[in-house]
């Protein structure tokens, strides 16, 4: 190649890089990747310290990678290629015939560390339970199997399914909770004994289905009525209708595959046969009287944010039935579908997600509202996590 040709190729390459950089910097900045289901890297802010430790320039590298023009198109092409090659893990999603599952790196289970963590969690739960019982309330900590725990057998034999970690975590928390008198309800055995356990979870998302939420609701209330001096009405199958939402469902695993791979799955809603009127408050302000965030058109996709509109810091559903007790449900996104059912049996249903609610501590909120029932919902992945909803 002649020197002039080399110069032409170099100039063309530099022009391409310059145009790509300009397109990246001039395009409207996004903060969240819908398909990857994560927050994108923010634009780095210069400081002498950041310059000195190298974090300023590495921040620019992450920013330009996350915000590159045409990034979704390139990711989609790469995903299509990986799927065509039949790779078992694509974009950290385990692709199986039955489901799209999370990739779980192989790590040894440190049983001693799990036991200590379970003890610390039980200590914290004992403090919260004491605060509730101090005014005569009832407290329950509920563990719900997440997708990988419900579908352990769907994993290829050569990939980790965390079965050992899940079993040991539940066993140790059950032991530690019993030693401290903490009311712990493990939904794992309940799910496993159902005639069709797959309908309780999702094939394309981490959460349980509305059917799984309904089973959790009934199990919690049956325990409350057996252990506490409360008579909470429990809606049976004849009292509710469960119907499929017509919109196409994009679960979090499907989104991570940029909607290039599908598994048969859908979202459902639950409604009482006899309507229960209510007033809804978000962050203390009266808002729309709806539990399900349905799109305007049937051809629009839905995500798990269908339930309660997603992860909100604070919500109150007031049914105006003062003869019934009140309930506080707190936790992360696993509370959302349950909230669409739980309000049916209570006068007021408070809900908190302490990852986002920062106005006061959990104990202060409980002291201010004094609900007769307080329930924490945690999936197996976060069962022993003392942060946010675990520590209160």
- 133 and 50 in a single domain? The answer is no
Edge to edge, the sheet with strand 89-90 lists: 89-90, 93-95, 100-102
CA angle 179, 185, 187 (to 5 degrees): 140
Any domain includes 88: no
- 13 and 121 in a single domain? The answer is no
- 160 and 289 in a single domain? The answer is yes
Q: How far is CA 329 from CA 95, 114, 365, in A?
A: 34, 26, 12
Question: Per the structure, how many domains does the chain have?
Answer: 2
The last residue of a domain, from among 12, 37, 69: 69
Supply φ then ψ for residue 363, to 5 degrees.
-65, -40
- 22 and 130 in a single domain? The answer is no
Any domain includes 305: yes
């090659």: which residue's tokens? 85
Any domain includes 102: no
Any domain includes 186: yes
* pLDDT (tens digit per residue) in 23-66: 444 455 566 555 555 565 666 666 766 556 666 657 545 655 54
Instruction: Give pLDDT, residue 21.
Output: 45
Instruction: Give pLDDT, residue 60.
Output: 47
- 60 and 157 in a single domain? The answer is no
> CA–CA separation, 324 vs 302, rounded Å?
34
- 47 and 148 in a single domain? The answer is no
Q: Encode 293-326 in three state secondary structure.
A: CCCCCCCCCECHHHECCCCCCEEEEECCCCCCCC
**Residues written for the chain:** 392
Instruction: Give pLDDT, residue 128.
Output: 97
Contact status, residue 316 vs residue 283, Cβ threshold 8 Å: no
Query: What torsion do the CA atoms of 288, 294, 298, 303 make, to the nearest 10 degrees?
Result: 160
- 137 and 248 in a single domain? The answer is yes
Q: Is 236 helix (H, G, I), strand (E, B) or coil?
A: coil
Given phi > 0 = left and psi -120 to 50 = alpha, else beta, which region is 77? alpha
Domain region containing 30? 1-69
- 49 and 183 in a single domain? The answer is no
Instruction: Give pLDDT, residue 369.
Output: 97
Closest Cα partner for 245 from 308, 199, 299, 317?
A: 299
């999370």: which residue's tokens? 102
- 253 and 324 in a single domain? The answer is yes
Contact status, residue 49 vs residue 56, Cβ threshold 8 Å: no
Spans of the chain below 50 pLDDT: 9, 12-26, 60, 66
């Amino acid at each position: 190649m002649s020197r002039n040709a080399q110069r032409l190729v170099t100039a063309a390459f530099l022009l391409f890089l310059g145009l790509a950089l300009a397109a990246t910097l001039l395009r409207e900045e996004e903060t969240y990747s819908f398909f990857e289901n994560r927050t994108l890297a923010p634009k780095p802010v210069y400081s002498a310290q950041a310059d000195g430790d190298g974090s300023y320039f590495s921040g620019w590298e992450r920013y330009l990678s996350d915000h590159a023009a045409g990034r979704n198109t390139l990711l989609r092409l790469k995903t299509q290629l990986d799927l065509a090659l039949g790779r078992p893990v694509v974009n950290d999603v385990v692709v199986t015939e039955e489901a799209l599952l999370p990739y779980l790196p192989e790590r040894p289970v440190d049983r001693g560390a799990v036991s200590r963590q379970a003890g610390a969690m039980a200590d914290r739960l004992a403090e919260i339970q004491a605060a509730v019982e101090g005014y005569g309330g009832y407290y329950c900590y509920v563990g719900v199997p997440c997708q990988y725990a419900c579908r352990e057998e769907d994993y290829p034999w050569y990939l980790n399914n965390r079965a050992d970690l899940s079993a040991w975590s539940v066993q140790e928390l059950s032991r530690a909770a019993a030693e401290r008198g903490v009311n712990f309800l493990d939904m794992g055995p309940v799910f496993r004994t159902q005639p069709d356990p797959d309908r309780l979870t999702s094939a394309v998302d981490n959460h349980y289905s509305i059917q799984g939420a309904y089973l959790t609701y009934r199990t919690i209330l049956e325990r409350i009525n057996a252990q506490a001096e409360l008579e909470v009405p429990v809606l049976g199958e004849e009292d509710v209708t469960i119907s499929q939402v017509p919109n196409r469902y994009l679960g979090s695993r499907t989104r991570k595959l940029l909607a290039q791979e599908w598994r048969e799955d859908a979202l459902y809603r639950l409604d009482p046969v006899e309507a229960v009127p209510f007033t809804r408050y978000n962050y203390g302000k009266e808002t729309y009287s709806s539990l399900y965030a349905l799109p305007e058109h049937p051809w629009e996709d839905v995500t798990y944010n269908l339930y309660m509109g997603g992860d909100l810091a604070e919500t109150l559903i007031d049914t105006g039935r003062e003869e019934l007790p009140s309930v506080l449900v707190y936790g992360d996104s696993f509370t959302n579908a349950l909230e669409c059912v739980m309000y049916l049996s209570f006068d007021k249903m408070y809900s908190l997600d302490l990852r986002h609610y920062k106005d006061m501590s959990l104990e202060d909120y409980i002291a201010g509202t004094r609900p007769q029932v307080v329930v924490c919902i945690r999936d197996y992945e976060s069962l022993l996590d003392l942060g946010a909803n675990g520590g209160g």
